[in-house]
Amino acid sequence: MDRENLLSSITYIDTERSIEAGEIKLIHTKYDLHLYEDTLVAFTTHYHLENVWDISYKSFSEDANLLYLHTHRGVVTYKVYEDPGRFVTTFKKLKNAHY
């Protein structure tokens, strides 16, 4: 995707859990969720905006939020540490402009 067409971006954290030698290991990896005029791009998935009905978020601790993508295939959750308000507002303005 072309960076100059990027409308908004937010970093999310993917946590992988494993057990090695009887110890729980947590690996946190940062990825970006990019919003374009017609597409939302995550590390492993591309969502066409006509298939994303809404985006919402809820704080679950002092420094972390859960970002919810409401899609045609159900709700997808991303853990974000920055305030997702600007990202959500940009999405809602974009979606409302098409209706």
What's the pTM?
0.84
- Note the pLDDT tens digit of each residue in 14-41: 999 999 899 999 999 999 999 999 999 9
pLDDT confidence of 95, banded at 50, 70, 90?
A: confident
Q: Which CATH number applies to 3-97?
A: 2.30.29.30
Ranges of each domain in the chain: 3-97
Assign 3-class secondary structure to the chain: CCHHHCCEEEEEEEEEEEEECCEEEEEEEEEEEEECCCEEECCCCEEEHHHEEEEEEEECCCCCEEEEEEECCEEEEEEECCCCHHHHHHHHHHHHHCC
